Structure formats: structure tokens, C-alpha cells
Structure 1
């Protein structure tokens, strides 16, 4: 991290711990015997910083950001660390090699805001059909964007990677909740790529909070598009993994759909421009019919290397959302609820995968993406390798067409290095029997 000190506004309360429930220990990856070195101590930073962009309001509480909207984006760094175990013990837990240990608790996030963007919309005028933008406002906004890109470029170089992992949390998550979610996913993957949190305004247990936060999601679409544009314009980025949970999936797909239409209008390839190789939607809180008409009908899948969607028909949170809106939610859909037209499309589109989760009721019916040992392990191996369900790394059970199944016994296989580019030991894994 190379920003000069006066740019930082830090928020930290020592000795306090988050009450957010930790991820469950995932199923450990299996590895071929030849790739197993002797166990070595970690030589990487114990709790490296993650990046964030948020459009939440500033707050004076330990987290630094509240649950309300801000018209200006903020970029900075956030550090999450276990409060009740060492970094080495946490690495064992989050890689599935300490399943008998109590789950971790987390110290409050350490947050360092580095760049504050000007508020949007930026000033402009229209006279006789001609659009004129305020030059000073544009210059200030572009300067903030350039600072973000410089920091991202530096982090990519320092950590020896070209991959960015962008995570968008769901409804009723605080800023700190979202940071913990990303830290767990990133750690389970062996710290693959540069982790970047996009945190939107939600939470606070307001009256009719769910309905209000759907509007906060709409409010956040432009800022997320700007974030994706900045990442795409950073030359050092060669691959992006986007992960979204619950209502975050609605924000992400809306933003990406608009960028897809924009790319088509400019005669550009969405995939080449934004370099999103993997899009993961966990328990997506999206109307099923809207998904079919706005994503499938718009040939949304062409913009990405692959799309993985985790579904659980007994998802209790999405069941309530279905009742509120009077229509089924995508994340709780069954295969027979897909329209005949969509099923016909998926006969020829193999890059989109619907993964039906089994056993989620034993863990967490909605947050299973981090509290189901099979699902967390599958997301982690996908983050690290980009493997598809039909690949050797991901032995999912194929059902029909694009539908696959995963249960709590699912165990991926990993054939790569046990160390991240910065030298951090990842895991000691059981050998695959030849």
C-alpha cells in the first residue's frame, strides 16, 4: 500500500470483536501426491489488506460506514483478522483441515479510506441539444479514478497476479459483514487474486427494510458500473472473477446487463473488454421470469467465460421474498420451473451452470455459500482455477441440461501449486489415490 499518510481516514476500535457468524470449515481439496511439499511456515503477510469501494455514508462507529446512501464512492483498504486463533490456525480451518476446531471470531475491521470520489451525478448542461459537462468536476472524478487504478496496479504487481476477485454482498449486511464474507471466500481459495469488496447501503433493521433496500440496490447500479469500468481500464488486470450473493446478484446482473448493451452499441466484445471469466451468483434474489426475459432473452451469457448459479428451493429468505413480490425467485427455482423457451436455449449454451444445493437445511438455508462445506469448497476451487463443473477439479453430479447437484460430501481436486504467488503456503491436502 503506497498512499501518503494524510490521505487516510482510519477507523478502529481495539479489543472489540464482531458478532457476525463465521463460515463453516469447507471440505478439504484433494491433491495428487507429486505436488505435496513438506509443510512449511507461511512467509506471506498474515492478514493482508483487501480493497474496497463503497457508496455507504460515513459513520463514526467502529466500521466507519453506515447503512445509508452516499452519492460519492470511497475507495480504501480493509483488514479482517481472526480474534481467537492464529493466522496459521485460521488457514487450517478455512482450508478444511481443522474441522474439529471451534469456528473463528473476528476482530472489528480495520478500515483505511484512501480516495473519496466526487458525488454523482457530475454537473452538466444541455443547450440546444448539446451536452456540456463541467470540466472541473470531470477532472476531479478522473483523478480519483486514476488513484484507484494506480493502487490496484501496485497491488497486482506486489502480489504477482493479474486477477481481481470482486464480491458484492447481499441484503442486510453491514460493511464489516461484507468484508468478512469476502475474507472467508478469498482465504478458502488460497488467497487467489486481489480481493475487492463492493459494499452497497443496506442493513440497520429499518421498517420495511427489505423493500427499501431494493431501492438502495437500484441506487448502487451506476456506482458498480463505474467500478467495473475502472477495473476494465486497468491494464494490469487480465482476469476478473465476480461473486454476488442474494440481492447483490440483482445489482450485479443489472449493472452487467447495462454494460453488455453498452458494449454492443459500441461494437465491442463484453468479454474482451471486461475480462470477466467467472460470474458466480449464490442464492440470487431475482425474479425468475425477469431473469428469463432480461438475461436469457438478452443473451447475457455471451459476455462471460462461465456463469455458476447456486440454487436451493427451500431457501427460507427467498421464500419470503417470493411471497412479498408474488413471484418465484431465481435462487429458489427448481428445474421444472424454468420455461420451455429457456430450457431450449440451455440445450445450446453450456457456459451457464445451475447448481442445485443439497443438505443446505443442515447448515444455513440462505447463506450456504459460506456455511455449507461443499458449496464453499466448490466456490473456492472455482475462484482459484476457473474450472467448470465437467472438469476434473469439480466432480459435481450432472442432472440434466445445465443442471448439476452438490451435497455436503462434495470434495474438489486441485492439481496446481500449494503456494500463492507471494509465497504463502495454502494448505496441506490429502493425497488422491492413484
Structure 2
């Protein structure tokens, strides 16, 4: 067990130096593209009147809004991190940071979500070993690369952002379940009938499934019906996932699960958990996986062909979002993703006839 922990620590500590809250200090002006993100978090504030979020656990949702400038020469799929002296022409910089109460948060989100020309509303739930600036800038980057006119909302839970804090992060994630349920309930109630995309990465996928399970047990079926759920590299035990899906039931459109056979972070997580398989490491070539996808009414998509930013291969969802957006823009793919249950392989290389998602086995039903 000890060597598995050591392997995970070595893998994760090999990542680039991460930013701290100082990276979010506002600058006066920038020449880039401004992206405004509303934030709902179970993290504690260091002081009540400042957006200085810690890994402390808040009993209630803390709310905020940030406007971040994406530099003119931004490379899709990358976050150009600011230095101690930020250069707005070359890096992400914060233009504005506001502390919000509930009324201010709901007014701000509703005004954007309910506008006649509103883009998609997307809630992002980050994963293990992630601090607040990382989560915020990741959502800004994905919004800039896919839909700058969208309505991005960050749900940040109090990860310790330390490789050795895996168990502490699991506790922090489950502590945040009620907070996420509240956020989903409030956002879906704004302009009923308009969907909300819910994207959750890694351990955030486990938190998201727990929140959906709780909503179903509460009878909040209208909240679940409004959601379009994507789990990216989910760090969820397979038996736990089956238990969750039995309560939640099939989603329409199908729950989409992005998997990768060589995700080294999930392989380490599996070893730590006693060699129990993780959902994000499934093989779509396995007939049992194909059958389970059909019977459970979900779409499992292998994104192993997409490039990752490092040897962990745990952030391929970022490249997937970038590549899929490019394919939509070029006419090689249609918006909406996978609309039927089954197991698929994503192909971002070469020409596609009608869809970049190649079906493996048999789909549950035709589109």
C-alpha cells in the first residue's frame, strides 16, 4: 500500500508549479477576451468581505463572480498562467472579482442564462488535488475554447490540493454534496426548460453522482431532467457507480462518461483502493462494458486518442472539448455529442462523415 501512495505522489508532484490566490489579483485593463464566471463554492473565505478562498469547509455556499481576460495569443487547450508580475498580453489575468450574496448571484446568472441569445449554461465540478485558481482558470480556458458566449459556473469544493490528501479530498467532496444539490436546484429553476450542462472531472464525478442520487431520493426529478451530465475521467469505484445509477436511473439525453484506458492517475487510485476498477479506466472493447452501457442507458466514450498535457493522461477531457469544438466549427461534427446509449470511440483525426463517435458493438436505439 505504501508504494502505491508513493507512486501517486511522484506522479502528481511531477506536474507544473501551481498558482495561488495571488494569481487572481485584479489588473486594471487587458487586451484579451473577457470571460465572466460565476462561482458557488463550499470553500471557506479567509475573510467575509474578500474572495480569498481556502481549503476550509464552509457550512453554506459562498458566492462570487470573476472576470478573467484570455490573452490574444491564447493557444487552445492551454492555460497561460500569470507570473508574479502578470503580462495581460501573454497570460490569463483577472479583471474583476466580486463577493456576491444569494440575490446578486441569482440576478447575475439569471440575466445571462435567460437572455434571448444566451449560450449554454455549464456548471464545472473539478477533481482531486485542485486549488481554487486552477479550477477557475481551467473553466475560463475551456469556455474560451468552446463557447465564449456561454454561461460558465464553477462549483469548487475544498480540495486540499496536496497529492497525499486523497482521503481528505474524498471527505471534502462528500461534505459538499448538499452544496452542489442546492446550486443545481437554483440554476435549473432559472428559465425552466433551458438545459444545464454539468461537467465533472475525476473525484468531482463521484461528488456529482452523489448529488444526483440525493436529488432523485428527494423527488427533485425536474432538476435532474434539466441536466446534461458529462463525467470526465471519473474516479468512481465501479460497484459504487452501479449503486448510484440504480437509484438515479437512465438520463435523457444519456449520461456521457469519458474514459481512457491509460489514465495513470486513475490506475494509481485503483491500486490505492485495493485494485478495484475505476469508472474512468473502462475499456469500451469489453463486451460487458458495452452491454452495461446499453442496459443503463448511458454513453461511454473512449477519448484515449486525444492528447493529454502530461504523462498522467488524466486531463484528456480538455483536449476533447477543444477538438470537438473545432470539428463543430468546421462542419465535421454536429453539436449535441452522443445522443444514444452505447460504447463509442472518439476520433479527432482525419475526416468524419457524420459523427466523430464510432460505435463499438450495438447501440441501444437509433438516433
Distance 1:375 1:194, change over 3 A: closer
Residues 305-316 of structure 1 aligned to structure 2 (within 5 Å): 305-316=253-264
Distance 1:352 1:298 in 2: 14
- Measured against aligned partners, the alpha-carbon deviations of 1:180-199 in whole angstroms (never above 9, x if no partner) come to 11112212222253110001
Matched, 1:149 2:149: no
Distance 1:362 1:280, change over 3 A: closer
- Measured against aligned partners, the alpha-carbon deviations of 1:110-132 in whole angstroms (never above 9, x if no partner) come to 421111xxxxxxxxxxxxxxxxx
Deviation at 1:291, TM superposition (A): 0.9
2:259–2:300 CA contact under 8 A, matched in 1: yes
Structure 1 runs of 4+ with >6 Å offset: 379-382, 410-414
Residues 3-402 of structure 1 aligned to structure 2 (within 5 Å): 13=25, 46-59=33-46, 64-82=52-70, 85-86=71-72, 89-90=73-74, 93-94=75-76, 105-107=91-93, 110-115=96-101, 144=102, 146-157=103-114, 160-161=117-118, 163-205=120-162, 208-235=164-191, 238-263=194-219, 268-269=221-222, 271-272=224-225, 275-276=226-227, 278-295=228-245, 297-298=246-247, 300-302=249-251, 304-326=252-274, 327-335=276-284, 340=288, 343-348=290-295, 352-359=298-305, 363-364=309-310, 365-370=313-318, 372=319, 374-378=320-324, 386-389=335-338, 402=342
2:77–2:322 CA contact under 8 A, matched in 1: no
Distance 1:46 1:291 in 2: 39
- Normalising by structure 2, we get a TM-score of 0.73
* Secondary structure of the structure 2 residue equivalent to 1:167: strand
- Measured against aligned partners, the alpha-carbon deviations of 1:81-139 in whole angstroms (never above 9, x if no partner) come to 23xx42xx43xx4399xxxxxx9632357421111xxxxxxxxxxxxxxxxxxxxxxxx
* Secondary structure of the structure 2 residue equivalent to 1:301: coil
Uncovered stretches (5+) of structure 2, i.e. residues with no partner: 1-21, 79-88, 355-367
1:64–1:111 CA contact under 8 A, matched in 2: no
1:171–1:202 CA contact under 8 A, matched in 2: yes
1:358–1:407 CA contact under 8 A, matched in 2: no
1:76–1:111 CA contact under 8 A, matched in 2: yes
2:23–2:133 CA contact under 8 A, matched in 1: no
Distance 1:149 1:362 in 2: 35
Deviation at 1:270, TM superposition (A): 5.2
Deviation at 1:409, TM superposition (A): 2.0
Distance 2:64 2:334 in 1: 27
Larger RCO: Structure 1 or Structure 2 (Cα < 8 Å, ≥ 6 residues apart)?
Answer: 1
* Secondary structure of the structure 2 residue equivalent to 1:358: coil
Based on CA coordinates, which of the two structures has the bigger radius of gyration? 1
Distance 2:178 2:261 in 1: 31
* Secondary structure of the structure 1 residue equivalent to 2:110: helix
Distance 1:413 1:109 in 2: 42
Q: Please tell me the root mean square deviation across aligned C-alpha atoms, in Å.
A: 3.7
Distance 2:130 2:147 in 1: 24
> How many pairs align?
313
* Secondary structure of the structure 2 residue equivalent to 1:173: coil
Distance 2:65 2:138 in 1: 15
